[in-house]
Amino acid sequence: MERRDFLKTSAAGLVLGSTPFFNLSCSMGPHKLSKIGVQTYSVRDLMSEDFEGTLEQIAEIGYDQLEFAGYYGKTPQEVRSIIDELGLTSPANHAGGLNSEEGLATAIEAGQIIGHEYLIMASLPRPASYTPPPRPPEGQPYERQAPVYTVDDVKQITDMFNQIGETCKEAGMKFAYHNHTSEFVEVEGGGMMYDMMLEQTEPDFVAFEMDLGWAVEAGADPLAYFEKYPGRFELFHVKEPDGAVPVGQGGLDFASIFAQSKQAGVKHYIVEFEGREEQIAGITAGLQYLRNLTF
């Protein structure tokens, strides 16, 4: 059996952590992770209706950390006041506009107020060579076409990442990139895009948030990446390959993955649930599962 198949089908689980990789209550025996984070996209519908009330529910469930995906119209000062009151921290934000000077400056200023350690780009920018297909006649379906990236496109993207990361470092923060499945494709003449991104970015400036669910769905083996690029994966999105299934209910072997946390370099473990229904129930089930996970 392929190792990635084992990871995907073996029944095990995961626990979220913070800066300590795990609580070493004893030098021998199983480990558990201490703090648990959640991506607010998991409760996006609720956040848009009642920002503060939804964060209160997250705190009551037992989460310790938040990774934001925008602030839903709240100012950074308001966000900081709310999370301080709830005893939560926010190590990261999926921020928009990082590829513009103004957008990056705005995100850094907000992050410094709220207390983010990381600003994260959530998906690939379109390549410079991309030309969108023409719109079909009215009434006809619009077929989306995935961009095709060239070696030059990837180099432009990684150069941008390094520049963003250098600016973030000067501000006392770090830039990170979050994957989907589209990065795990071969670029003609260049190899696997995700590998190229890792190899062409400076570790001091650029970290990676590995979305475990998307990576395994794409056929990647997280353990092989930790071995090949140790220390580069400072955040995990803890998610099943079917993101609409709560963590712990999709068969992904999180325990085997987290056993290699130190090699990966992970500092923050962030639960993500992509289901549209029962969003609070989804993140609650994931947390309960993770609280009991040992590895």
Which one, of 184, 171, 147, lies nearest residue 95 by Cα? 171
pLDDT at 27 over 70: no
Confidence of residue 30 (pLDDT cuts 50, 70, 90): confident
Confidence of residue 28 (pLDDT cuts 50, 70, 90): low
In terms of Cβ atoms closer than 10 Å to its own Cβ (0-12, 13-18, 19+), residue 201 is buried
Task: Domain ranges for the chain, please list them.
Answer: 13-128+151-291
Task: Rounding to the nearest 10 degrees, give the CA dihedral for residues 43, 4, 254, 161.
Answer: -60
pLDDT at 166 over 60: yes
Q: pLDDT (tens digit, 9 = 90+) per residue, 180-198?
A: 999 999 999 999 999 999 9
pLDDT at 251 over 60: yes
pLDDT at 23 over 70: no
Q: pLDDT (tens digit, 9 = 90+) per residue, 73-108?
A: 999 999 999 999 999 999 999 999 999 999 999 999
In angstroms and rounded to an integer, the radius of gyration of the C-alpha atoms of the chain is 19
Task: Give the mean model confidence (pLDDT) for residues 229-239.
Answer: 98
Task: Rounding to the nearest 10 degrees, give the CA dihedral for residues 189, 190, 192, 195.
Answer: 170
Task: Give the mean model confidence (pLDDT) for residues 261-288.
Answer: 97
Which one, of 165, 196, 191, lies nearest residue 179 by Cα? 196
Q: pLDDT (tens digit, 9 = 90+) per residue, 202-216?
A: 999 999 999 999 999
CATH of 13-128+151-291, one of 3.20.20.150, 3.30.470.20, 3.40.50.261, 1.10.10.10: 3.20.20.150
Q: How far apart are CA 73 and CA 200, in angstroms?
A: 36
Task: Give the mean model confidence (pLDDT) for residues 214-222.
Answer: 98
Q: How far apart are CA 13 and CA 83, in angstroms?
A: 28
Q: How far apart are CA 179 and CA 211, in angstroms?
A: 6
Task: Give the model's pLDDT for residue 127.
Answer: 86
Chain-wide mean pLDDT for the chain? 90
pLDDT at 8 over 80: no
Q: pLDDT (tens digit, 9 = 90+) per residue, 140-153?
A: 777 777 789 999 99
- Cα angle 191, 193, 194 (rounded to 5 degrees) comes to 120
For residue 283, what are its two tokens? 């993140």
Confidence of residue 56 (pLDDT cuts 50, 70, 90): very high
